[in-house]
Copies of this chain bind each other. A is one copy, B any other.
């Protein structure tokens, strides 16, 4: 066949895989948002079938043959071109997928659907015992999954390097540990300094905030950010998430607490950041493996950028505080914008990762990263996880969850996905969010002025040009280098934290 025919054949096959994966996303969204409890068993079977069908297609030897035929042609192209990236990334996905039998993929999918459903009931009921057998199976499946990648990449030196690499290409257990050590060395003294200072009063965030007014305010902000509701929607779930159900359909979910204004608002801004990334990928990449965010870490950099670097900044509240006060005139009566700005940036060790302030957040991640490695290597039994969680919270953060609902049952990740590689990307995302924002600020000298006038088009345009539109064409280090002109580094992140919290706490 000709190159044109081979490429067309490859794209047809990839489109079908993409459609099957998008269909899986519809099943997953519905399961989390609206499915009645009785539907769980059938939904698990449906999701497992779709996973198997798409995995079978991605591992079809015909894909390998088409890639073989197209590789010499692609090697002569500009490596930054869509076509060269398509061949490179599809090769990686195909080689990865062929390592794992379809039947295993289907089994994992069916198990995780049942596990997710059990977790949905267990978390509010503080019933860790009911999910323990599910998690034990998940740990065993995660080990088996990693086992399929033995010898896959010479860079792997730890048995679970494959799990990290799958979420965050190019990273290893040792690399993450080194990074976490460096970061901890910066964060711990900063937190210690902050704790010598008087606490910030965040009482203005507590009260009675009707859900509908919270929803309306949050949606007004993300509309202004540039989240397109004609190509998306927002619903409520126990655990907020973003999902793409196909080109033109990128949805988010949030949750509200009527006694806490920050919960719903910042979860909305966070998920909108993820969604704007997916909405901003070039349409031409639709139907291929390039049509999604680059890695979990780059994704998280976008959610955290819009949540924290924009949404918890002084210029942002200079613009929005008046509107918020109008939405809650009685609740915020007499509270000025500086008091409010300080409240949403209060540093205080707390129980819930997604509620954590910017300084303590990464300590939550390090806890999870260490515990999941311990679960995988067998040094921690699932039965002992709740107690291990409590101990680590006590030693790292000085607070102890009163129940498993806010402890080991807190996050969906280990109950709706495999264990290992689930959490480190949050911290990588924090690091990159500050690095991207610093680079955007260099290119957009009036960034703060735009934010203070509620105008986000320039920032979104910068991110679209440098991050969003590329989809998966480049790895995280490549995107950072292209966008920022320097390698990935924690320096901008620590500088941001030191400057912001130094000023807030008068350090």
Q: Is A50 an interface residue (CB 8 A)?
A: yes
- Given contacts A23-B50, A45-B19, A49-B16, A248 and B30 within 8 Å (CB-CB): no
Tell me the complex Cα distance, A259–B486, Å: 64
User: B35 contacts A249, CB within 8 Å?
Assistant: yes
A37 to chain B, nearest CB (A): 5
CB of A36 within 8 A of CB of B233, answer: yes
A314 to B29, CA, bound (A): 43
**A46 at interface (Cβ–Cβ under 8 A)?**
yes
- CB proximity of A27 to chain B, nearest CB, Å: 6
Closest CB in chain B relative to A42 CB, distance in Å? 3
The reply to whether A232 and B19 form a contact with Cβ atoms under 8 Å apart is: no
State how many residues of chain A have any CB contact under 8 Å with chain B: 39
- Min Cβ gap A437→B in Å is 28
Copies of this protein in the assembly total 2
| Residues of chain B with a CB closer than 8 A to A46's CB | 19, 22-23, 26, 246
In the assembled complex, how far is the CB of residue A199 from the closest CB belonging to chain B, in whole angstroms?
A: 43
Whether the Cβ atoms of A39 and B246 lie closer than 8 Å is yes
CB distance from A47 to the nearest CB of B (A): 9
Interface flags, A11-34, vs B, CB<8A=1, else 0: 000011001101100110110001
Residues of B within 8 A of A19 (CB): 42, 45-46, 49
- Tell me if A231 counts as interface (CB < 8 A to partner B): yes
Taking a contact as CB atoms under 8 Å apart, the answer to whether A246 and B42 are in contact is yes
Q: How many angstroms between the C-alpha atoms of A301 and B485 in the bound complex?
A: 70
Cβ of A38 under 8 Å from chain B: yes
Chain B residues near A397: list those with CB within 8 A. none
In whole Å, how far is A277's beta carbon from the nearest beta carbon of chain B? 16
Q: Is the CB of A36 within 8 A of B229?
A: yes
A84 at the interface (CB under 8 A from B): no
Q: How many Å from the CB of A279 to the closest CB on chain B? A: 9
Asked if A245 is at the interface (CB within 8 A of a chain B CB), the reply is yes
Contacts of A248-268 to chain B: CB distance below 8 A:
248-249, 251
Query: Taking the nearest CB of chain B, how far is it from the CB of A225, in angstroms?
Result: 17
**Residue in contact with A249 in the complex, picked from B36, B231, B245, CB distance below 8 Å:** B36
Task: Give the distance to chain B from A358, nearest Cβ to Cβ, in Å.
Answer: 32
Given A16-B49, A30-B30, A232-B36: A247 and B42 interface contact (C-beta under 8 Å): yes
Contact flag A30-B38 (CB < 8 Å), given A20-B49, A49-B20: no
Q: Chain B contacts of A22 at CB under 8 A?
A: 42, 46
Question: What is the distance, in angstroms, from A21's C-beta to the closest C-beta of chain B?
Answer: 10
CB distance from A489 to the nearest CB of B (A): 37
Tell me if A491 is interfacial: C-beta within 8 Å of chain B: no
Task: Say how far A38's CB is from chain B's closest CB, in angstroms.
Answer: 3
Q: Is A230 an interface residue (CB 8 A)?
A: yes
Does A169 count as interface, using CB distance less than 8 angstroms?
Answer: no
The listed residue with most B CB atoms (<10 A of its CB), out of A15, A30, A232, is A30
By the criterion CB–CB under 8 Å, are B230 and A36 in contact?
Answer: yes
Q: Is the CB of B230 within 8 A of A38?
A: yes
A393-420 CB contacts (< 8 Å) to partner B: none
Nearest Cβ on chain B to A110's Cβ, whole angstroms: 11
A43 in the interface (beta carbon within 8 A): yes
Across the interface, A38 reaches (CB within 8 A) one of B29, B50, B248, namely B248
Please state if A248 and B40 are interface contacts (CB–CB under 8 Å): yes
Q: Nearest residue in B to A27 (C-beta to C-beta)?
A: B26
A216 contacts B by Cβ under 8 Å? no
Residues of B with C-beta under 8 A to A235: 34
Check if A323 is an interface residue, CB within 8 A of chain B.
no
Q: CB of A337 within 8 A of chain B?
A: no
List the B residue with the shortest CB-CB distance to A37: B230
Q: Which of chain A's residues 26-70 have a Cβ closer than 8 Å to chain B? A: 26-27, 29-30, 34-43, 45-46, 49-50, 53
- Nearest-neighbour CB distance to chain B for A220, whole angstroms, equals 18
Further pairs besides A19-B42, A26-B27: 20, Cβ < 8 Å: A15-B45, A19-B46, A19-B49, A20-B49, A22-B46, A29-B30, A34-B233, A37-B230, A37-B248, A38-B228, A38-B231, A38-B232, A38-B249, A39-B231, A41-B246, A42-B249, A43-B249, A45-B246, A46-B246, A53-B53
- In the assembled complex, 14 residue pairs joining A and B whose CB atoms fall closer than 8 Å, in A order, are A19-B46, A23-B50, A26-B27, A26-B30, A29-B30, A35-B245, A35-B249, A39-B245, A42-B246, A42-B248, A42-B286, A43-B245, A43-B246, A46-B246
